[in-house]
């Protein structure tokens, strides 16, 4: 369990901070996970709010100044409206799930400095993924356990997966990507896979339409042949 009473010193996530610059690996991992998450949760009622790299504004305690952290992905049971930031005091409820995609420049920050702050906010699940596959394991995290009074290590199963109660799916590592897997073991499609699936469906529909047209032409030809022989 983490000890949130003693918070480590941490700088705010700002646009000009060096750890906010993303490599291709990080950007790809974030966008694939984000769009798969939107696809997976689009039919949930009520539909949760999902954001990427949105600043969370919060006070570690009422006497301290407002701080700012920007997780790569967050999920929260709040109304779906456009936001320029997630003001914890105004929203009245913390994000349920946050994800940080770890980079060499953010390694210590994401693994050691941020967890106590997300714990103090009231986040239920905090996942960390390393697309560079330097961390062992590449997927890890913390989850809130009320009996323990805060964050405990989020244990993976024998396949290295994390089950997310918030999302209702497994978090699984597939190469340099963090993917979602349903309880039945089916991978939630990535944007590329969903695009390919739609293209294949459109191609099948077009092929079936051509076959119907050819069949209709053949039926018309046979009818005309029967009429001619009469």
Q: What is the CATH number of the domain that holds 81?
A: 3.90.1570.10
Q: Which residue has the higher pLDDT, 212 or 150?
A: 150
Do residues 49 and 159 both lie within one domain? yes
Domain span holding position 98: 18-188
Quote the CA–CA distance of 74 and 71 in Å, as a whole number: 7
Counted domains in the chain: 2
125-129 and 97-101 beta bridge pairing = parallel
Residue 85's pLDDT is 96
Do residues 147 and 206 both lie within one domain? no
Q: What is the pLDDT of residues 9-35, one digit of tens each?
A: 888 888 877 777 788 989 999 999 999
Quote the CA–CA distance of 94 and 206 in Å, as a whole number: 47
Q: Which residue has the higher pLDDT, 203 or 83?
A: 83
Do residues 154 and 178 both lie within one domain? yes
Q: What is the pLDDT of residues 160-218, one digit of tens each?
A: 999 999 999 999 999 999 999 999 999 998 866 765 666 555 556 667 767 777 777 76
- Cβ 2 vs Cβ 151: under 8 Å: yes
Do residues 204 and 180 both lie within one domain? no
- Confirm whether pTM is higher than 0.85: no
Residue 20's pLDDT is 76
């Amino acid at each position: 369990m983490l000890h949130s009473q003693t918070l480590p010193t941490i700088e705010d996530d700002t646009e000009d901070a060096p750890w906010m610059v993303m490599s291709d690996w990080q950007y790809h991992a974030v966008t694939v996970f984000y769009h798969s998450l939107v696809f997976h949760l689009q039919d949930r009622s009520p539909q949760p709010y999902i954001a990427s790299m949105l600043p969370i504004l919060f006070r570690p305690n009422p006497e301290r100044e407002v701080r700012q952290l920007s997780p790569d992905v967050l999920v929260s049971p709040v109304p779906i409206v456009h936001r320029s930031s997630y003001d914890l005091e105004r929203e009245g409820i913390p994000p349920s799930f946050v994800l940080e995609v770890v980079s060499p420049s953010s390694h210590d920050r994401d693994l050691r400095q941020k967890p106590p702050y997300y714990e103090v906010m009231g986040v239920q699940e905090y996942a960390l993924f390393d697309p560079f596959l330097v961390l062992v394991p590449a997927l890890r995290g913390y989850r809130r356990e009320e009996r323990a009074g805060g964050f405990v290590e989020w244990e993976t199963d024998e396949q290295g997966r994390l089950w997310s109660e918030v999302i209702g799916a497994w978090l699984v590592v597939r190469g340099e990507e963090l993917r979602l897997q349903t309880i039945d073991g089916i991978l939630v499609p990535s944007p590329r896979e969903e695009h390919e699936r739609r293209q294949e469906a459109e191609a099948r529909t077009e092929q079936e339409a051509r076959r119907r047209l050819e069949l209709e032409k053949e039926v018309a030809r046979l009818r005309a042949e029967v009429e001619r022989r009469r």
